[in-house]
Each structure stands twice: as C-alpha cells, then as structure tokens.
Structure 1
Amino acid sequence: MLEAPATIDEQLLEQKRAQVVSVFNTINTERMNDIPILNHKLSVSLIGLQEWNNNYLGILVTPWFMNIIMLPNQADEWSDIPELSSEKYVFPSGNYKFLMGFEPDIGKYQTCSLFSPMFEFADNQAAIETAQAAITELMNDENIETTDIDSEQIQRIWEGEELLPEGI
C-alpha cells in the first residue's frame, strides 16, 4: 500500500531542516574543525522545526552550541534588520533575546543561545533529548516566571512609565 505524500508544509519544513543542517555541517568541517570548544561526540541536528508566528522555529544542535533558531518565512523578510542586532520575542514560557545572523546558503536567521560549549553532553542522544525538551518547554506557559522582565522594562518601571507586574 502506498503512503500518502507529505503535505506541502511538511515538505517545506523538511527542506528547510535539511538546508540548515547542511550549512552547519559545512561550518563544522570548514570553519570549526580545529576549534577546541567542539564536542566531537555530537553532530549537527535541527530538532522540532515548526512554523511559529509566520516564521520557522527549532533547536539547532551543533558540536559547539545548542541554540533556538528562527528562520523567516520569506527569504527577504528580515532584509532591513542588521546582522548581529538583537530582537526580543515573547514565547509562552517568557521573553527571549535573539541575535541576527547570516549565512549565504540560508540567508538571515536569528538565534538564542541555550548551551555553549557542549561538553556537558555525553553523547549525541543526550543533546537531542535536551533539544526536544527545550522546544517543548519553550511553548509551555507554566514555565513563565512572574519576574520575567527585561532591563528595558525595569527602566520603565523605575521611571514610573509602567507598573510593577503582579506577584513581585
């Protein structure tokens, strides 16, 4: 019996996943090869890639870092955002700051660091399981802290422009 083909969305997600993994595998072999922060027990993986707020979101695992990664829905969507600039995003579990990056073969992308370096992971399976848990917990609103405020919000509170959140 033939299986039904994947939906266009699933095909697009798989294409994006394969593209990101390919680019970071190339970075691993060509740019990071002799860098002492590599955990050679790990490989490049993109875990939990999904659509989120008209972007693509997943956890990128490499031998040198584990980051939340966000890719734009359209290649030129972030063309006006400078590289290395930061953007804050609100997820169900709280606020996260992302840095803008660029690689020619994937274009602009944004990352939020979770782990670096990666020596605390004994093997690739441990890193993948952690990434799977991270993407799940990122979307879990039970993880939000009532004290989850950033420096800009603190400044507004000090200046009387914003009230202190309840529970603090």
Structure 2
Amino acid sequence: MSSGFRQPAVRDELPPVTGIIGEDPAPRLTTMYRRIWFETMHEMPFVNAALSVEALGFHRWQPDDSTTTGPAATPPDARSTPAAQTPAGDWIGAVITPWFINLFVLPGGGTLWSDRPRGERCLLEFPIGPLEFIADHDPAAEIPKFQYCPLFAPPSEFPSQTAARAAALAALAAMFAPPPGVRRSAAASLSKKSESSRRAFFRRIAQG
C-alpha cells in the first residue's frame, strides 16, 4: 500500500476473517442504521430530518467481469437484484441516512474485498478508476465488517429522500458506466487520494 495514505494514529488489529455474505445485504444494513439512528444519532444537530435510512442499489460485482454492470438503469425505487440471479462477486451499493450518504463494499466472495483493520484506507479499482474506501468493523453489528466511501456528510443539501436516492444511484452508475471522455480524467484525479477531489467529482455526477 502506498505510504501516501492517511492512516489513523492508533490502528486496530486485523479483524477475524470475514464470512461471505450470500444474500442481499440491504435489509441488514437498513436495520443496522435504523438502530443507530434511534439509539445515538436522532438528536444530533447536523442531521437532515428530511432523510431516512435506506440501503439501495446493492449488487455483486467482480473487477474482471466485463458483463456485470452497475445500477445505472435501476429506477430509484427498485429493489436490489437477488443474489441467486447475479454473478458471484463482492457487494457494491449505497446507504442513505440522515447524517451521511456513502458508497459501500461488503464481502461477497469476490476478489475486490480484503480484510483490513478499522480505519485503514485503500484504493479499490472500478471502471471509473480507483476510489478510496475506509474499513470499519463492529463484531456486534448486523453487518460486522464493511468498507465505505464517503459521498455527502452531512447530506444537508438534499430536500427529500427522493433527491438523496437519485444522487446515490447516480454516483453508483458513474462508478460502472462513466460517460465518454470522463473516465481518464476522473481516474487521474481520484488516484491522487484527495478527499476533496473525490467528493467534488461525485457531487457533480450526483447533482447533474
């Protein structure tokens, strides 16, 4: 891993080997973040009360699977495709909460996922180019381990759940189907590991 990554001053030990998630993780993620919302976050001053917890767009993807596409054509209210109807691979999707909108990677048996200590950052390759994800884990949670890429935190600019959903799906679509002429420049800017550059890029995509 490049020494240029920002790493926490104190790092966790490497967590136990992750079990493969064999079915759509969206319901479990929704349950997990709804619990966090009611237990610890609902009174925070920076939350957007117009938003609710929703996990969406989850599908399995392999980096070398040219036939697998992201949810570019998925309508905002569509459910994720069942795992039995999709090729093997790790889970990619988005989660909306009143305090963030993030991209997620979860272990599905593919080659994208690798177990990492909490807080460690890594670059994961997608058709658009490399994206920086942050590892997290909580053995007691509904989804014990995941990696996330922050998009909007807090998501204060969204007036409704519909707007937040459209932005999350647009960001997911951009990861897998970059428009002509965007891929090279996007990959170059994102590979510099700049949080502000990545967020600015996805803001442009998500907000049209």
**TM-score, normalised with respect to structure 1:** 0.75
Match of 2:52 in 1: 43
Q: Are 1:119 and 2:156 an aligned pair? A: yes
DSSP-derived class of the 2:23 partner: helix
Gaps of 5+ in 1: 1-10, 153-168
Work out whether residues 102 and 149 of structure 2, in 8 Å CA contact, stay in contact via their aligned partners in 1: yes
Work out whether residues 94 and 148 of structure 1, in 8 Å CA contact, stay in contact via their aligned partners in 2: no
Task: Looking at secondary structure, tell me which structure has more strand per residue.
Answer: 1
Q: Are 1:135 and 2:165 an aligned pair? A: no
> How much has 1:141 moved relative to structure 2?
3.4
C-alpha separation in 1, matches of 2:93 and 2:131 = 14
Match of 1:67 in 2: 102
Q: How many residues align?
A: 137
Gaps of 5+ in 2: 1-21, 63-88, 194-208
Q: What is the root-mean-square deviation in Å for CA atoms of aligned residues?
A: 1.9
Identity of aligned residues (%): 27
Work out whether residues 95 and 148 of structure 1, in 8 Å CA contact, stay in contact via their aligned partners in 2: no
C-alpha separation in 2, matches of 1:149 and 1:21 = 29
> How much has 1:44 moved relative to structure 2?
0.8
AA aligned opposite 2:143: I
> How much has 1:151 moved relative to structure 2?
4.2
- Aligned mate of 1:52, from 40, 56, 61: 61
Rate the CA distance shift 1:149–1:43 in 2: closer, same or farther, 3 A.
Answer: closer
> How much has 1:149 moved relative to structure 2?
5.8
> How much has 1:19 moved relative to structure 2?
0.4
C-alpha separation in 2, matches of 1:88 and 1:99 = 9
Work out whether residues 41 and 123 of structure 1, in 8 Å CA contact, stay in contact via their aligned partners in 2: yes
Q: RCO higher in 1 or 2 (8 Å CA, sep ≥ 6)?
A: 2
